[in-house]
Structure 1
Amino acid sequence: MNVQSPAFGNSLKSLRREHGLSQVEFAGRIGSTQRHVSFLETGRAHPSRYMIQRIERELALPVGRSQILYETAGFSSPYKCRAENSPDVVEALDLIETRLLANWPFPAFVLDKRWTILRSNTAGKLFLAGLTELQNQPANLFKIFLSPTFRERVLNWKEAAPIFAARLYREAAEDPALADLLEEAHASGILDGLDETFREDVPVFVPVEFMGPDGSRLRVTSLLGQLASVQDAVIEGMTIEMMVPMDEATQNCLLAAGTPTTVAGSTAAE
């Protein structure tokens, strides 16, 4: 029996282990045998296209992971590999911006997998308007979170920092560029002492608190989401972040006509 390229076998083994399945359990999920799964992982057998379809269906794989299986098995992927600036992707971003972000009354953003801001609504632009030294093109939300300017404007940084750090750790585990950013954060001491933060009375939400333009304390959290039925790895890797006021005073302040709120507690005109 000819031994096939190990690329598919290695991908399959990693996928199986990520789901915490033994070869026997995995075989049961996809309607195969432990022997055949072993042969696939060692390269002694080659998968059929139908086998890959069963794997992606039974494990509910994201498009990006499915693409890897097709490609490492030597098949053309049924999913297109679009560039971030392709017309289809730009059209999808425009759709999200006009149909969703524009109708959300509070700050909202579309982020790529590295948390670069691809789109934002008017409230979102105003909310970040005070971070003048961070107006790089395009801005990155993680870099903003970890910047000295942003940290100075968070009134409860000790409580909020572990929330930001958890997101960065989670994303950095799958992306080398964010892993570099995490290393920079460690080197600068931003994450020092987070392991010592302990609360016995952990609330349902941990809001981030900013000083409002009138001196009030604004309390917000975020709603993270993705579009369903996405069949593109680039769009699939994007996240929609929508800020949510935690109390009526914050809501009124964010909605106040003629008083656009920024994390600096100033207005866009400043």
Structure 2
Amino acid sequence: MTTAARVTVGSLLRTWRERRGISQLELAGRAESSSRHISFIETGRSRPSEDMVLKLADHLDVPMRDRNALLLAAGYAPRYAHTPLDDPSMGTLREGLERLLTGYEPYPALVVDAAYHVVAANRGVLMLLDGLPEHLLAPPLNAMRITLHPEGLAPRIVNIREWRGHLLAQMERQIALARSEPLRALYEEVSAYPVPHRTGDAEPAEPVPYFALPLVIEHDDRVLSFVSSISTFNTPMDVTVAELAIETMLPADPATAKYLRSLGG
């Protein structure tokens, strides 16, 4: 039997540096080191300290999951826990997320992980998903799949081509920043979905001056418009927490806001 070549911390750091388009000299300046030392680390002639691994990872914007991989490759223990969200120790976090999502109602809001699996959602989101086929709603619920699937929300989205382009570009940026095979596989799946052909889309009597690209979607014989905002946790110390994103949908026009408030009442 043959054994695959061991992945070294130097080769991993070099890969991240090249992905970020940073020279050894530039990285050395940021890390208050020398290009010679960076070169020695990348070629395996020098073993970086644990602090140096973390410092370089920070300047290369390496995701937390991959920082653990760098530490392991350098011979150190992982620094960051990877606690399942349903672990009892995450109870305070789960409660906080639920209160945040409930407090945002009647407007839609949800929490997704790094692969866009929905880990929590409020009634505003469930309203938009009403009537979708069961196979799309079966766990694990995936926000990208539900949005772009030809049996999902895509046929209801008035500006599907623009919104689809926005979502795919968002995923492309994330893939470029993180070496995530699950995310790449999801991208290849959803980008291959056919784009629904829409004819006779209703236009508002007076054009609305949107302040950001809206999601314009049909619901219950109405056309609703939303703009989305995405939030993440500041200085997380757990991989699970670092990979969570909270997306809130803000009404993009007075008619949408009025309709949602009427439902909330």
Aligned partners of 2:112, 2:190: CA distance in 1, in Å? 20
Greater Cα shift, 127-136 or 172-181: 172-181
Shift of 1:40: 0.4
Alignment partner of 1:189 is 2:190: no
| Residue-pair matches, total | 244
**Equivalent residue in structure 2 for 1:179, among 180, 184, 188:** 184
Aligned residue runs from structure 1 range 117-136, under 5 A: 117-133=118-134, 134-136=136-138
Gaps of 5+ in 2: 1-5, 198-208
Shift of 1:33: 1.4
**Percent pairwise identity:** 29
Q: Which amino acid aligns with 1:224?
A: I
Aligned partners of 2:55, 2:124: CA distance in 1, in Å? 44
Q: Deviations over 1:184-219 (max 9, x none)?
A: 345443499xxxxxxxxx975221212243x33211
Alpha-carbon RMSD across the aligned residues, in angstroms, is: 2.6
> Residues 159 and 78 from structure 1, CA distance in 2 versus in 1: closer, same or farther, beyond 3 angstroms?
closer
> Residues 146 and 16 from structure 1, CA distance in 2 versus in 1: closer, same or farther, beyond 3 angstroms?
same
Gaps of 5+ in 1: 193-201, 260-270
Aligned to 1:144: 146
Greater Cα shift, 24-33 or 242-251: 24-33
Aligned partners of 2:183, 2:58: CA distance in 1, in Å? 30
Q: Which amino acid aligns with 1:245?
A: P
Task: Check whether the contact 1:6–1:42 (CA below 8 A) recurs between aligned residues.
Answer: no
Please give the secondary structure, in 1, of the residue aligned with 2:233.
coil
Aligned partners of 1:258, 1:191: CA distance in 2, in Å? 31
Q: Which amino acid aligns with 2:88?
A: P
Q: Which amino acid aligns with 2:69?
A: I
Alignment partner of 1:21 is 2:22: yes
Runs of 4+ in 1 over 6 A off after TM superposition: none
Shift of 1:227: 1.5
Aligned to 1:262: none
Q: Which amino acid aligns with 1:141?
A: A
> Residues 169 and 248 from structure 1, CA distance in 2 versus in 1: closer, same or farther, beyond 3 angstroms?
same
Q: Deviations over 1:35-85 (max 9, x none)?
A: 111110011110112322432454565432322221111111232232344
Aligned partners of 1:73, 1:250: CA distance in 2, in Å? 53
Shift of 1:110: 0.6
TM-score (norm 1): 0.80
Task: Check whether the contact 2:154–2:196 (CA below 8 A) recurs between aligned residues.
Answer: no
